[in-house]
Amino acid sequence: MPPPSALSRWLTQEGVHLDPRIHLVSRPDGSTAVTSAAALISPGQTRKSFPSVARIPLSLVLSHRSSSLAQALDSPLEEDSLASYAPALRLAVHVAHELSLGSKSRWATYLEHCPARESVHIALLWQGEAQRWTRGTELERECARIGVDEAVLKRFYNHVALPLLSSLPSSSSASPPSFSTFLHAYVLVSSRAFQVSSYHPLALVPLADAFNHSDPPHAHLASDTWVCPECGRLGACPHDDDGGGPGHEERDEPLETVDMVSERKINPGEEVFNTYGAGLSNAHLVAAYGFLLEGNEHDVVSFGGREALQTMLRASDSAAVGDVDLDALEHALDSLGAAWRAAAASAPLLDEGHPLIAPLPSSPTPNLLGCFIDADARLSPELWLAVSLVAWLTARDDEAQRPAKRARSAAPPAVVVDASEALQDAVQLAELAEEAWRRCEEEAAADADGLGDADAGARDVAWPADEFEREALRCASALVRSVCAARIEEQVEEARGMDASALYERAEETADPSLRLAIEYLAGERLLLDRVSSQWTFS
């Protein structure tokens, strides 16, 4: 890769403005980053008042609108043949064409400075050992959610990209890009592209993509997002429904740049970080970008509601509960979830600081829906409802097996769930779990202080006093552990017997970067699952 000075010169020639206190630097591993030589001013409130770290002319953005391929295609209909595919696939075709043009591309210097395909380790394209180590993890699920792997790209290349690129007039390209070039293009798009506007829905933005990601970031990309998708204009244009007649709000100065603006103070010598999106989990970062953040607060381990119920029914030590109709139970869980959200809209059902159960997210992002464990090892409300449903069914079934002796009626495990009663049960059980957790924490603290024996009498082993509640709590904690154990069971065999620290050690000893990342990811997820299991062991 040429030195960044060549890139800096090209950027200046192309009209890019970079704050003189900011520098592009080359890391020993060949990667690029952005650092600050002096403190930058603190941020303002609007795009215009945000101090601009860099301004990139919109004309320098590489998208399906601006590329050489867009110019080479004879009719818009040909380009439209890509329109029904995912934006990343479409842009990859344009970038592959640009790569195949070599020095004839307007973006040649920029593309030469982008990393080689082998140095970006996106999990979407892992094969062999690295892919095997993702088994049973959230990372495997994230790759499946994105739905791209090398086989998918090969089919798309053979059936869509290659026929289109081969149909270009010979003057437009030396020869169509190979599959390997197309893969390189896809890796660049996955790990570097931005959503710029409705006109450039996905694009490579030179310089803006030299910033690494952190959470929280120092800077973010700012652009006029809602422009005409046909011509990119901000104000009135002929594509408006009313033909762009009078009455349109015209901005005095249309912004012809995409800006990197700072949102918090940048200290001298600090690396300047961008954000690749809000709330990105390590599963997403590894899948699409090929790196992870230590202690990422957006990590989750998710379960389908049905999957969680099925695991717990299997784990329930009540034979009758094992036979419960799963469809009916799943339906009951859905209605309970809706009832919980409706009730929580007026007042939270649980203390926001509950140590074991997360509050409902204020604006659920896709990874904050349904049954999951969050980065603080708390169960989502939906997962808790599933646990509570099966725990009470099991406890009641156990109760029904004994001679009737309790005031509380013991119903057989039917799946006719009264939502308000089941909600009350879930809240009551959550309160019992919190109290049990506090008692364990106090006990551990007392043990650490050498007071363990002196205090033992005060912590009644027979708590809670009600045997029926005790049974429900015991079931709930066993069910939570069963869900974690089932997840670990899905992971690669070698990993099952290892704890998180052994996995981290194994990752450190691994030379292959993709495999190292796969093991490191697994170690982080294991740490979370082990923490949940130990928190739900009340003895």
Whether the CB-CB separation of 391 and 472 falls below 8 Å is answered with: yes
Token pair recorded at residue 106: 């307007």
Q: How far is the CB of 193 from ligand SAM (least distance, A)?
A: 9
> Closer to ligand SAM at the Cβ: 31 or 365?
31
Using CA atoms, how far apart are residues 345 and 432, in angstroms rounded to an integer?
23
- The full DSSP string for 344-384 is HHHS-SS-TT-SSBPPPPSS--GGGSSEEEETTSPBPHHHH
Let me know if 530 is exposed, middle or buried by CB neighbors in 10 A (0-12, 13-18, 19+): middle
Q: How far is the CB of 454 from ligand SAM (least distance, A)?
A: 48
Helix (H, G, I), strand (E, B) or coil at 213: strand
Q: How far is the CB of 401 from ligand SAM (least distance, A)?
A: 55
Q: How far is the CB of 118 from ligand SAM (least distance, A)?
A: 12
- The full DSSP string for 77-131 is HHHHTTTTS-HHHHHHHHHHHHHHHGGGSTTHHHHHHSPPGGG---GGG--HHHH
Token pair recorded at residue 471: 């049974």
Identity of residue 419: A
> Closer to ligand SAM at the Cβ: 212 or 510?
212
> Closer to ligand SAM at the Cβ: 134 or 318?
134
Which residues are within 8 A (CB) of 235 and not within 5 positions of it... i.e. 6 or more apart?
248, 249, 250, 251, 254
Q: How far is the CB of 114 from ligand SAM (least distance, A)?
A: 7
What crossing angle do the helices spanning 381-401 and 467-489 adopt, rounded to 10°?
A: 130
Q: How far is the CB of 209 from ligand SAM (least distance, A)?
A: 4
> Closer to ligand SAM at the Cβ: 8 or 31?
31
> Closer to ligand SAM at the Cβ: 34 or 73?
34
Using CA atoms, how far apart are residues 491 and 235, in angstroms rounded to an integer?
54
Q: How far is the CB of 241 from ligand SAM (least distance, A)?
A: 37
Using CA atoms, how far apart are residues 507 and 515, in angstroms rounded to an integer?
8
> Closer to ligand SAM at the Cβ: 1 or 237?
1
Q: How far is the CB of 513 from ligand SAM (least distance, A)?
A: 10
> Closer to ligand SAM at the Cβ: 392 or 504?
504
Whether the CB-CB separation of 358 and 379 falls below 8 Å is answered with: yes
> Closer to ligand SAM at the Cβ: 120 or 383?
120
Q: What does each C-alpha distance from 327 to 37, 309, 310, 412, 416 come to in angstroms?
A: 61, 10, 10, 18, 12
Q: How far is the CB of 452 from ligand SAM (least distance, A)?
A: 43
> Closer to ligand SAM at the Cβ: 133 or 289?
289
Q: Residue 458 is inside which H or E element, if any?
A: none
Q: How far is the CB of 285 from ligand SAM (least distance, A)?
A: 8
Strand order in the sheet with 17-18: 17-18, 52-57, 257-262, 219-222
> Closer to ligand SAM at the Cβ: 115 or 136?
115
> Closer to ligand SAM at the Cβ: 219 or 356?
219
Looking at residue 221, the DSSP 8-state letter turns out to be E
The full length of the chain comes to 539
The dihedral through the CA atoms of 136, 137, 139, 142 has a sign that is: positive
Identity of residue 479: L
Q: How far is the CB of 202 from ligand SAM (least distance, A)?
A: 13
Binding stretches for ligand SAM (CB under 6 A):
31-33, 115, 120, 191-192, 209-210, 212-214, 289-291
Token pair recorded at residue 532: 């949940």
